[in-house]
Chains A and B, each alone.
Chain A
Amino acid sequence: MAEDLTSLITGLGFPNIEAFLALMFLVLAIFGVIVVISTLRPVLSMFPYTYPNARVRARIGRIFNEKQFQEIIEAGSIEEVKNYLRGYPDYAKYIDQYPLEKALDTQLAENYDLIARITPENSRAAFRFLLKKWDIKNIKSIIIAKEAGLTAEETIDLIVPFGDLTDKLDALIDADNINEILNTMEGTEYTPILEDAIPIYQETGKLLPLEASLDKYLLKNLLTTVATPEDDNTSHLKTYVGNMVDGANLKIILRAKVDGLKYEDIEPYMISAGYQIREWKLKDLMESEDVAGVVNGLEGTEYAPLLAEALATYNETGSISDFEIALDNNVVETAKKISLKNQFGIGPMIGFLSRKEKEIKNLKIIVRGKREEGFTPAMIKEMLV
């Protein structure tokens, strides 16, 4: 047999069997390297997400289900709601430390903070930037508190101890007036926004321009952070952020149309680099005559069917809350789709944040319902998102 093999190999033009084997090994080695690299690449792209996803999925498992929500809704008082939440370690550590709503916000912020810390390098910048939403919430709360004449102790109850401004929070809370707040904020990224928006707020007493300017800063820069996706994961993150940006733009346009505002009034608050709804389309929508015009102008986009349904309700009630709910639900649905489609990547983290936001929103609705007189469990359940 060995002789047959040798004669076959020499018949192929090789001087001896060693030369043939050397060539065969070279070919096999190249083939092996190609196989190994092409097999390893997708596996290695999943690897950085394994640890964060396991942590996130553990927290997904602790999100309240329908039965648990029903039990909370049926609580007889705020104190009973607190007692219920004390039974869950995620909430227990904050319930006795802070007023209830601050405890809920802090728990949510803690989850944002965790994700920003454990997410892989290529998506960390976006999640870190998302943490600024707590800075923005705190700035708004402090300004409102100062204008309402709240004491430092009362203001502290509104502040969430997360974000980049934590070292300035004490000074901001102790500030005597808005000018002192501006001085304390000097040198931060928020100074130019506040310098423009605070005089308008003081002049008109309306918080919306200030809120819109701060929200615009957050979303615009968030969109810039995810603008150039490196891979599937960052591309999904861009889709999620993009939907948030489009939703925010549409909400502002719809609110402005209800108030009869013109293009020039709305334009400063728009995030011009929208995601699906680009600059030219936004301009068209801003120039629409009324709410119906905005909805009709969205024809051909995925927002048209969503908002068309809400338009019918708006025509009956005159309330734009259905539009806002539809747009918020669209972001939640996007997160859900991403979490199902991208289970080994960024999906679980996006899905978790979206579900956690929803949980906290619902808990706050329940708390407010319990605080007000005359809200039955059935009425509260109806209000949940």
Chain B
Amino acid sequence: MVEVALGTALAAIGAGMAVGFAGLGSGLGQGIAAAGSVGAVAEDEDMFARGIIFTALPETQAIYGFLIAILLMVFTIMANKALPVTTGLVAIGAGAAIGFAGLGSGMGQGITAASSVGAVVENEDMFARGIIFTALSETQAIYGFLIAILLMVFGGILG
């Protein structure tokens, strides 16, 4: 059996949290937006392209989580060195930051996206405003992503 240092194991948990929770939020949000888009397309085939745009928006949270997880893995687990416990804890902090921020942001964005799809199919002029409202929920994921990066930089994982 491969011996894994405690710090490295903690970093692995951090990477898992980053992509796991962010992916959960993103998946739920995208599912909600997709359900709304399918309903809109069933009534108006011209809604397909706009439905895809709204459905794609909650994907970003999963991308942020995925990026942070990759960085954590490259700079900790794949670096082939025994990490100190404190660095492992920093990795968990970074993973939790993007994971939970992505969870909330993804679900929120999905709800707004589904609602915007409904508004656009009711009134075409709502498209731009729908995009703006939907994009607002992105900010929480960006905060989580930034904090995760800063934690990694100043916690000694990056750089």
Q: Which residues of A contact B (CB under 8 A)?
A: 1-2, 5, 17-18, 21, 25, 35-36, 39-40, 43, 46-47, 50-55, 57-61, 118, 343-344, 348
Which chain A residues lie closer than 8 Å to B47 at the CB level? 58
B37 touches A43 (CB 8 A): no
Asked whether B121 lies within 8 Å of A57 as measured between CB atoms, the reply is yes
A172 to B: closest C-beta gap in Å: 33
B104 partner, pick from A39, A47, A61, beta carbons under 8 A: A39
Given A54-B117, A57-B119, A47 and B32 contact (CB-CB distance below 8 Å): yes
CA distance A145 to B36 in the complex (A): 44
Other-chain residue from B39, B43, B85, B110 in contact with A5 (beta carbon distance below 8 A): B85
With a cutoff of 8 Å between Cβ atoms, the chain A residues found around residue B13 in the complex are: 25
**Secondary structure call for the B interface:** helix
Q: Which 8 pairs, one residue from A and one from B, show the smallest C-beta to C-beta distance? A: A54-B39, A58-B43, A61-B122, A57-B118, A50-B35, A58-B121, A51-B39, A54-B36
User: Out of A1, A36, A55, A344, which one reaches B103, CB within 8 Å?
Assistant: A36
CA distance A71 to B95 in the complex (A): 60
Supposing A21-B6, A60-B122, A61-B121 touch, asked if A54 and B114 sit within 8 A by C-beta, the answer is: yes
A-B CB contacts (within 8 Å), total count? 84
Residue among A35, A39, A50 facing the most chain B CB atoms (10 A cut-off)? A50
With A and B bound together, what is the CA distance between A287 and B111 in angstroms? 52
B123 at the interface (CB under 8 A from A): yes
Chain B 51-66 interface 0/1 with A at a Cβ cutoff of 8 Å (1 = within): 0000000000000000
- Judge whether A2 and B114 touch: CB under 8 Å: no
A5 to B10, CA, bound (A): 16
Docked complex: B90-106 residues within 8 A CB-CB of A: 100, 103-104
CA separation between A2 and B35, bound complex, in Å?
50
Chain B positions within 8 Å of A348 at CB level? 118
CA distance A40 to B28 in the complex (A): 9
Please indicate which of the listed interface residues B21, B104, B110, B122 has the most CB atoms of chain A within 10 Å of its own CB: B122
CA distance A58 to B122 in the complex (A): 5
B111 proximity list for chain A (CB < 8 A): 43, 46, 344
Q: Find out whether the CB atom of A344 lies under 8 angstroms from the CB atom of B115.
A: yes
Contacts of A35 in B (CB 8 A): 100
* A348 and B24 alpha carbons, distance in the complex (Å): 28
- Give every chain B residue within 8 A of A58 (Cβ-Cβ): 39-40, 43-44, 47, 118, 121-122
Binary CB contact string for chain B from 23 to 54 against chain A (1 if under 8 A, 0 otherwise): 01000100110011111101110010000000
Which residues from chain A contact B31 at a C-beta distance below 8 Å?
47
Contacts of A50 in B (CB 8 A): 32, 35-36, 39, 114
**A53/B121 in contact, CB under 8 A:** no
Report Cα–Cα, A55/B36, bound state, in Å. 8
- Give 25 A-B contacts (CB < 8 Å), ordered by A residue: A1-B86, A5-B85, A17-B85, A21-B10, A21-B85, A36-B21, A39-B107, A43-B32, A43-B107, A50-B32, A50-B35, A50-B39, A51-B35, A51-B39, A53-B114, A54-B36, A54-B37, A54-B40, A55-B43, A57-B119, A57-B121, A58-B40, A58-B118, A58-B122, A344-B111
Q: Whole-angstrom distance from the CB of B39 to the nearest CB of chain A?
A: 3
- Among A21, A47, A58, chain B packs the most CB atoms within 10 A around the CB of A58
> Which of A25, A39, A53 is the one whose CB lies under 8 Å from B36?
A53
Bound: A118/B42 CA distance, A: 12
From known contacts A5-B85, A39-B103, infer whether A53 and B43 are also in contact, taking CB-CB under 8 Å.
Answer: no
Output the residue of B38, B39, B44 with the most chain A CB within 10 A: B39
B42's closest neighbor in chain A, by CB? A55
When C-beta atoms are compared, the residue in chain B nearest to A46 turns out to be B111
Sample of 9 further A-B pairs with CB below 8 A, known A39-B103, A39-B107, A54-B40: A5-B86, A21-B6, A21-B85, A40-B28, A43-B110, A47-B35, A53-B36, A54-B39, A60-B122
